[in-house]
Amino acid sequence: MRVKALFVGQYRKIFWIGLGFWFLLLRAGGAQDIGFYAEVDRKSVGLGSTIQLTFTLEGTQEIVSLPLTEIDNFDIRYLGPTTRVSIVNGRYSSSKSFVYSLFPLKTGRLTIPSVAIHVSGKTYTTDPLEIEVTDTSARLPAGTAPAPSPAQPETSRLEDKIFLVLEVPQKEIYLYQKVPVRVILYVTDLTVTDIHFPELKQIGIDVGKLDRPKQYQQIMQGVRYQVVEFNMAVYPTRTGDLTLGPVNLECNIIVRTSSRGSPGVRGPSSIFDDDFFDAFFDRQEKRPVTLRSQEAVLHVLPLPEEGKPQNFSGAVGQFNFDVSASPLEVNAGDPITLRMNVHGDGNLKAVQLPALSSLQGFKIYDPQVKEEEQAKTLEQVVIPNSSEIKDIPAIEFFYFDPGLKKYQTISRGPFPIRVRKAEDREGLKIVGGEKQLDIVEPEVVGQDIIFIKDSPGTFYLMGRHVCHDSRFYTVIVIGVGVWIALYAFYQRTHKMETDVVYARRLLAPKEAGKGLRQAARLKALNQKGEFYTALFKTLQQYLGNKLHLSSGAVTFATVQPRLSGCIEPAVLEELKHIFEECDAVRYAPAALDETAMSGSYERVQKIIDYLERHLR
């Protein structure tokens, strides 16, 4: 009893001490002043690098939204919020920070304007910040004066270092004419990765297959550019003025970001104002960029009616036409195979090979058409009906030559053939027509009579047949099953190789499983920063595969429009929370215990399981 009373007394002391502690916190917190200010991790940055902008709200934990969506001359990305609580000498203080990554788009002195927020009915405003953006490509060794260059502009812009050009050599063309198009990516003084193929979708224009891109260097106006050139062909399918472009191309730019310090904390700048320390402490990250080319207007002319052949089928370009027939010596009723081949420079999809429906004296079968790259082949079987047929008439192919601006005709044949009469087949004949005497042998009665039995007895199978063996049907079933399995495997493998979206979605859970196992190992080692980085990358890669996005471009802002309406709002809110939690821990490490890490791991696991079941 005495021990029990002592135990209850200790709990009472703990209760009153805790109650007093929270009373002091509330009293101290109510007396804290509210402040709102902005700061950057560095005031000078090179074009192609990023700076970190942090807005800090002190003195309140009230949930506020920061109305910051864009800043002139900067590409802005929200990294997430951080919260800090401290008690020093009995004084309670709290702050909430909003962290952004800014990517300058040109050189010069750029201004981050003041930002205002409303808290508890009052307005708080930050001071504007000046940022000096320099051109890193213009750096010279220490002690070297730059040579004057009147041709060089005073301000460099990001679009001068990376841009996309659409080149169309011919603007006035005919309907269905092939138009070669070049899409050229120019890059200088930047590191670019994950270059996607350009996207061009136009109404009234058929887009051909992209060739393998070419890579080379080119000097323009004294600047050396790394060039990636894509070549394709387009075919207008209607007349009038058609707008071609703009062409979109996605890629990632490798940018330098400062890793010194954490949001809201800066060390003495004089210690680190050195290129050596900048290179040592800076890290790199991928920043997704979507480039857009200019537009081009095509004036599409209709095909002329003058000189247009009656059997013209729509072939426009320069073509060659070949015809062959075999065999040339047959019996009446035997087949002859006609082979037609057209190849050249033009839209083969719009080319129709000559029809033989009006060929007299022949029975004509349906043709088989095969289309290859730059060639189209037709095979057709014809059967001569009589031996009076001496040849296969000439076959003509018509096309319009846009270079000559007139219609052209290619004629092949006639093809002389020899048709023999069908040989008479020998029927049944009676050998020996002379009258002969019938010789009848005496009949032996009783030897050829089988009497009907009332009870036939037991029947026995004469000989053994494979079809009566159960193992025969077992082999057939196994063979059919193996064939079906191999065919399904082929279809799945073929789809994996040709359908990128299907392949990424199929591999998404497998890759997510690898990422979760890595995160579990880091959690067991109590490596908090690496654990949350692994969780963040797992979510990025999984959502990128599921939604067919570049993994480096996956943030909550990019996936929210695609997921809204497809999943429950509670799951979407949970996904937003885990993105913010990962960003907060990675960019501003907080004191988290193993329980919090386990909770984060389970939330990510549940989100992925939910998306696997509901996101198709």
pLDDT tens readout for residues 127-146 = 888 888 888 665 444 334 44
| pLDDT (average), residues 233-253 | 91
- How many other C-beta atoms are found inside a 10 Å radius of the C-beta of residue 273? 11
pLDDT band at 573, cuts 50/70/90? confident
Environment class of 561 (CB within 10 Å of its CB; exposed 0-12, middle 13-18, buried 19+) = exposed
d(CA 608, CA 365): 57
**Hey, what amino acid is at 66?**
L
Residue 227, both tokens:
């060039």
Task: Please confirm whether the linkage preceding 569 is cis (ω < 30° from 0).
Answer: no
Environment class of 3 (CB within 10 Å of its CB; exposed 0-12, middle 13-18, buried 19+) = exposed
pLDDT at 47 over 60: yes
DSSP codes, 317-386: EEEEEEEEEE-SEEETT--EEEEEEEEEEE-GGG--PPP-TT-TTEEEPPPEEEEETTEEEEEEEEEE-S
- Percent of all residues in the chain with a pLDDT value above 90, rounded to a whole number: 17
d(CA 599, CA 585): 14
Residue 470, both tokens:
């159960």
Q: Do residues 237 and 175 lie in contact, with contact meaning Cβ atoms separated by under 8 Å?
A: yes
**pLDDT at residue 151 in the model:** 42
Contacts of 389 (CB under 8 A, 6+ apart): 361, 362, 417, 419
d(CA 400, CA 592): 75
Task: Give, as one character, the DSSP assignment of residue 245.
Answer: -
Residues pairing with 76 in the sheet: 102
| pLDDT (average), residues 298-326 | 90
d(CA 323, CA 325): 7
**pLDDT at residue 590 in the model:** 57
Cα–Cα distances in angstroms (integers) from residue 308 to residues 302, 315, 329, 509, in the given order:
12, 12, 37, 59
pTM for the whole structure:
0.50
Q: What is the mean pLDDT of the chain?
A: 78
**pLDDT at residue 465 in the model:** 67
